Amino acid sequence: MMKQLHIRKITLLSLFLLLAILCTSCTGKGTQGDETTAAVSEQETQADPFAGYTKIIDAGSAAYVVVYPEDASYAVMQSMNRFIDNVYDQTGVRLETKSDFLRVGAEHDAEAREILFGRTNYSETDAVLATLASDQYAIREEGNKIVIAAHSDSYTVAASNYFTSNLMEPNLVWQGDVCTLYLQEYTFPSASLGEELSINGRFIRDFVIVYDADIEGYEEVAEQLQEVISATTGYVLDVYADTDREESDCEILIGQTNRALSAELYEGGRTLMTYELVVRGYQMQIVCGGPFSARECINEMRFSIFGGETMEYVDGSLLEVNLAPAAAEVTDGSDLRLMTANILAGRWGEDANDAIPPVEQRVEIFAAVLANYTPDAVGLQETDHKWVEMLPVYLDILKNEYGIEYTWLFSVWEDGKPNLTSILYRSDKLELTDSDCKDNSYWNAASYTYHLRVLAWAKLRVKADPSQEFILLNTHWAWESPEWIAGSVQEETELVNQLKAEHGVPIFCTGDFNSRQDSEDVLGFLADTGMEETMMQAAEAGTRVNYCGGCGNVGNPRDSETYIDHIFGYGEYDVLRYETILGNRIIWLSDHAPQFADIQFQ
């Protein structure tokens, strides 16, 4: 309907242009003709409702690049991605992005046409923010920049939501199959929904937020919900752990709390990376698999509940979403599913910036990978203090609610320090017959709070067929210096050849090798051990499902012709399937993607 309306606008403009031509030909060059032309010019401007407007998309091409803060939060990055996706869905044009990072001595290009999304370090963003109160946001042109910003992340997200919901479709003009998107500025005056938003007749101001205290991470998402409600209604609701407050009327529940409604809705157990928003009486319940899916639910509530047109909610299910990667059954005929996964040390989310979800949330994503792909053995990298704390919680969930039992080898060293290179194996299917773990010799372990460069191996036997045995060796090669890299290659080569001689069973090496498949280090290692790259074996056999090179920033996978995560193999076997797990929210797990190989022993 909107497209037809804009076509009518263009048709009307064409009629005015035709009228101008006719009037000019009738009056000649005299004074009367000049006056008529001026009158038509005025009519022409009035006929075009977009005269003088800035073009974001110009005749099917992007006129702007989106700039985001280098230290943008998870909520802002997700909102920006939603903004770009919505523009693409409406126009067929995908806006490019870049961060506001500047090298020392560099300056931003004031002439470049850029959309500044969030609190960037540009002077144009500062100029707009200086005019806004804490409960306002703006979509405004400042020089050659379009600023979409507010003082808080919640209001920045609200600004993006307002643009896509209210300012995009009415400002699209179609000419054939291409469109032009014009900018319409807007400044939000203040929050005002507190007297309107209600749940079964009780206003939102009467509610408190109650979260499940048993699992770490829910308190943070409860505070996020508090911020969202404050930004959209003007009311700051109190937040409580379920163990700190007795049950009462008017509660918004997050997770499997000790409330009666939670017990009822979780009766069948939880499903990782799913959420449902349920209203029952004067309670609103977020039923979720963990803090990550709870956070995703709150992000959606920001748009469709608190930012929607309906202000009164009654009993029923308002949202129901499955975020988990699609389950992949083990390939027919395979004896073993091996996985390698760099799941990103928790310190990166704590020390770098909050654009990376904390382990308390990312652990749910990885647990969903284990639940839906059920690898028999996994080589893990970067399992630091926070992973050592949180992963066992979800391994218990997998055991108790999914019936999948994993044992975690070498998560912590004898000195109590976490081991960043460890092994998971399905102890309900496999039996451990031998194992060992040691630091690489070239780095000073005593100077670290964890064990960084490690060789860990396990000899495992299939319980259903004891004749099937194999060794999984997991590592994380160095990148810090040529000497460390050479040490990584040499010491793993020596260990592989030793294990070959002593055990005589197939050997598989998993890891983040920090070296490309065509590098001298990898090629030398393969030549000196007789191992092969299982991804390449699958490619030759036609059993490679997909290809994803290298790694990217969390939230943004990288396309390249090279990769540094590998599963190498030695012995008599076939690779029946090789896949890199990319689906849905997996990009928020790590700056690497898990990979697995289905193996059939010969």
- What b-and-e string marks burial along 500-510, b requiring 16 or more CB atoms within 10 Å of the CB? beebebbbbbb
Report the alpha-carbon distance of residue 585 to residue 537 in Å, rounded: 28
Using CA atoms, how far apart are residues 197 and 248, in angstroms rounded to an integer? 20
DSSP β-ladder status, 114-117 and 65-68 = parallel
Residue 397 is predicted with a pLDDT of 96
CA distance 522 to 520: 6
How would residue 227 be classed by pLDDT, with cut points 50, 70 and 90?
Answer: confident
Mean pLDDT in residue range 225-243 = 86
Q: Which of 61-75, 285-299, 547-561, 564-578 has the lowest mean pLDDT?
A: 547-561
Contact 340, 578 (CB under 8 A): no
Q: Quick check: 20 pLDDT over 50?
A: no
- Tens digit of pLDDT for each residue in 558-590? 566 678 899 999 999 999 999 998 776 788 899
Least confident among 178-192, 275-289, 355-369: 178-192
What is the reported pLDDT for 587? 83
Q: How confident is the model at residue 422 (pLDDT cuts 50, 70, 90)?
A: very high
d(C-alpha 10, C-alpha 260), whole Å:
60
Average pLDDT of the residues in 291-296: 96
CA distance 148 to 158: 10
Distance CA 306, CA 233 (A): 8
Residue whose C-alpha is closest to residue 341's, from 305, 367, 310: 367
Instruction: For the chain, give the percent of residues with pLDDT over 90.
Output: 66
pLDDT exceeds cutoff 90 at 541: yes
Q: For the residues 149-174, what does the mean pLDDT come to?
A: 88
AA identity, residue 156: T
Sheet of strand 336-342, all strands in order from the earlier edge strand to the far edge:
406-409, 421-426, 377-381, 336-342, 595-601, 573-580
Residue 510, SS3? Answer: strand
3-state secondary structure of 518: coil
Computed over every residue of the chain, the mean pLDDT equals 87
**Residue 349: predicted pLDDT:** 57
Query: What's the pLDDT tens digit per position in 449-468?
Result: 999 999 999 999 999 999 99
Task: Tell me if 339 sits within 8 A of 377, measured CB to CB.
Answer: yes
Mean pLDDT throughout 253-282?
96
Cα gap 225→231, rounded to integer Å: 10
Section 369-374 average pLDDT: 96
CB atoms within 10 A of CB 497: 15
Confidence at 283, pLDDT banded by 50, 70, 90: very high
Average pLDDT over residues 346-355: 62
Q: Given CA atoms 292, 296, 299, 301 in this order, what sign does their dihedral have?
A: negative
pLDDT at 71 over 60: yes
Query: What pLDDT band is residue 309 in, cutting at 50, 70 and 90?
Result: low
Nearest to 435 by CA among 462, 410, 467: 410
Is the entire prediction scored with pTM above 0.85?
no
